[in-house]
């Protein structure tokens, strides 16, 4: 059971000290703490991913309202964008006169 748990936690990318996990019975407090930390990390990553999806959606809507139907290349750029790019483009849309101006900067 302990070996399976170590492999599974390692596969999930849990940042815990797996060397100390010798026995589920011996280290149940450490295991509970590590699982709690892993769950917090997963929730944080989920929230961050949700924020990026929200930013992307809002920017896509703003671009569509300002410039009309969006070409496929715009959707591709939005899907591949980092948080920083989305934030920059959200600012650029305020003064841009075309899609090219938003994405060229």
> What are the pLDDT digits (tens) for 5-22?
767 777 777 666 666 655
CA distance 83 to 39: 23
What secondary structure does DSSP assign to 49-63, as a single string? HHHHHHHHHHHHHHH
Mean pLDDT on 16-38: 66
How far CA 46 is from CA of 4, 12, 51, 52, in Å, comes to 25, 14, 9, 10
What's the token pair of residue 44? Answer: 């944080």
Q: Provide the domain count of the chain.
A: 1
> What are the pLDDT digits (tens) for 84-95?
999 999 999 999
> What are the pLDDT digits (tens) for 45-79?
778 888 889 999 999 999 999 999 999 999 999 99
Residue 95: give the domain boundaries.
2-104
Is this structure's pTM higher than 0.85?
Answer: no
């Amino acid at each position: 059971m302990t070996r399976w748990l170590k492999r599974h936690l390692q596969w999930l990318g849990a940042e815990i000290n797996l060397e100390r996990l010798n026995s589920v019975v011996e280290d149940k407090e450490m295991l509970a703490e590590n699982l709690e930390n892993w769950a917090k990390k997963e929730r944080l990553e989920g929230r961050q991913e949700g924020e990026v999806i929200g930013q992307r959606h809002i920017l896509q809507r703003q671009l569509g309202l300002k410039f009309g139907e969006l070409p496929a290349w715009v959707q591709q750029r939005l899907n591949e964008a980092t948080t920083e790019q989305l934030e920059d483009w959200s600012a650029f849309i305020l003064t841009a006169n075309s899609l090219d101006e938003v994405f060229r900067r």
